[in-house]
Amino acid sequence: MIKTDIIIIGAGPVGLFAVFEAGLLKLRCHLIDSLPQPGGQCSEIYPKKPIYDIPGFPSVLAGELVDNLMAQAAPFKPGFTLGEAAQDIEKQEDGTFIVTTAKGTQHHAPIVMIAGGLGVFEPRKPPIENIVDFEDKGVEYIIKDPEFYRGKRVVIAGGGDSALDWSIYLTENRIASEVILVHRSSSFRGHLDSVQKVIDYAEAGKITLVTEAEVTGLSGDGKLDKVHITHAKDGEIVKEADHFVPLFGLKPSLGPIANWGLEIEKNAIKVDTLDYSTNIPGIYAIGDVNTYEGKLKLILCGFHEGTIALQSAFARIHPDKKNVLKYTTVNGVNGF
Ligand SMILES: Cc1cc2nc3c(=O)[nH]c(=O)nc-3n(C[C@H](O)[C@H](O)[C@H](O)COP(=O)(O)OP(=O)(O)OC[C@H]3O[C@@H](n4cnc5c(N)ncnc54)[C@H](O)[C@@H]3O)c2cc1C
């Protein structure tokens, strides 16, 4: 049994920063994440994309932000249970909690901080009969490292920002040898300047844009070789390709947390904005996983929520101690 002061479910940016804020209050944390690495969406979906709205960083790659958050949390020696989904929670008679993962690892603490983001990651897959046969053999649902596509022929499908941005990135940086963007409509949902850029590249012959079309078949011997596209007017078009990357977003699924007796609204956990507590005393929800009036799913909002929630958690753990806010400039960072 792993014992700690705070069990944090989700090692995304918000969960990681909570370790630092907890450490300043002399509270120890243990993080559980179903992914094999920390960083949540930043590591899993867009590690090489720059983020522009982290205060004090005019631009920072999502992967770098995670590295920095890990370094910031390091003095407080957080524990990690990675590659295991938090499955069950049991409230003990003394008000503490035992959280058990799908692999049976048990964690015990007086406070549970849910920073589960979008929940357990599930990409939306296109309805292509044999797509599963080509997963990791040419079909990927997320672009983790663009270098993986160097010199390759890549078919991207989708009409949102991810599909547009990656088509532009792989073309602009001369990474892929060929980029084909397939979208079922002739209008896109992404940012207008990205749409314009894709159209410009298509006109210049740098991107092959196939609209009003869908990828409906895949073929290859042991690995992907051809992508079969059904066009509304022209019928079937076959393109030779090394990779097919459908970027249709992630299916938000809270996963096991949805059955823990928490108040859920629109697939997110309802919280009291006074301290981001849930309807179960001792359980808080911070970051993308929570909902309240005016909620913004932004990293900086999650940082704020975690900081406030931890003040409340401190008061629960130490009802007899008064916590006086101390600046880090005055007190420094005194690790464990
Ligand atoms: C392409 C893209 C671009 C973005 N750009 C920006 C931007 O520019 N600025 C910005 O502020 N935000 C941006 N965002 C949003 C930002 O990434 C999220 O707001 C942020 O990741 C939320 O952090 P989080 O820690 O709350 O959740 P997440 O990053 O989603 O992490 C949650 C973690 O919890 C884990 N988890 C969930 N359920 C369980 C369970 N039961 N057991 C164990 N682990 C579990 C998941 O595996 C995941 O690792 C962007 C998002 C995307 C997809």
Following DSSP, what letter does each residue of 181-194 receive, concatenated? EEESSSS-SS-HHH
8 A C-beta contact, residue 308 and residue 137: no
Task: Please tell me the predicted confidence (pLDDT) of residue 252.
Answer: 67
The two three-digit tokens of residue 333, written as one number: 């960072």
C-alpha 276 to ligand 1 mean position (Å):
17
8 A C-beta contact, residue 61 and residue 158: no
Task: Please tell me the predicted confidence (pLDDT) of residue 48.
Answer: 86
8 A C-beta contact, residue 99 and residue 32: yes
Of ligand 1's atoms, which has the minimum distance to the CA of residue 32?
Answer: 43
C-alpha 29 to ligand 1 mean position (Å):
19
Residue 55, Cβ density class (10 Å: 0-12 exposed, 13-18 middle, ≥19 buried): exposed
Task: Please tell me the predicted confidence (pLDDT) of residue 253.
Answer: 79
Task: Please tell me the predicted confidence (pLDDT) of residue 255.
Answer: 86
- C-alpha span between 113 and 297 (Å, rounded): 17
Place of tokens 């649902």: 141
- C-alpha span between 48 and 66 (Å, rounded): 11
Of ligand 1's atoms, which has the minimum distance to the CA of residue 44?
Answer: 49
Place of tokens 């088509």: 167
Task: Please tell me the predicted confidence (pLDDT) of residue 276.
Answer: 98
pTM as predicted: 0.75
> Measuring CA to CA, which residue among 242, 232, 238, 221 is closest to residue 155?
242
The two three-digit tokens of residue 111, written as one number: 């406070």
Task: Please tell me the predicted confidence (pLDDT) of residue 35.
Answer: 85
Residues lining ligand 1, Cβ inside 6 A:
9-15, 32-35, 40-42, 45-46, 51, 53, 85-86, 115-121, 162, 255-257, 287-289, 297-300, 302
8 A C-beta contact, residue 310 and residue 25: yes
Q: Which residues of 104-136 are buried (b: 16+ CB within 10 A; e: fewer)?
A: eeebbbbbbbbbbbbbbbeeeebebeebeebee
Q: Is 211 helix (H, G, I), strand (E, B) or coil?
A: strand
Place of tokens 């892929």: 176
The two three-digit tokens of residue 308, written as one number: 């406030």
How many other β-carbons are positioned within 10 Å of the β-carbon of residue 95? 11
> Measuring CA to CA, which residue among 13, 288, 245 is closest to residue 145?
245
> Measuring CA to CA, which residue among 142, 87, 96, 97 is closest to residue 119?
87
C-alpha 41 to ligand 1 mean position (Å):
4
Distant-in-sequence, close-in-space partners of 235: CB < 8 Å, separation ≥ 6: none
What are the residue ranges in the chain where pLDDT is below 50?
A: none
Q: What are the CA-CA distances from residue 6 to residues 110, 168, 233, 255, 301 (Å)? A: 7, 42, 58, 21, 20
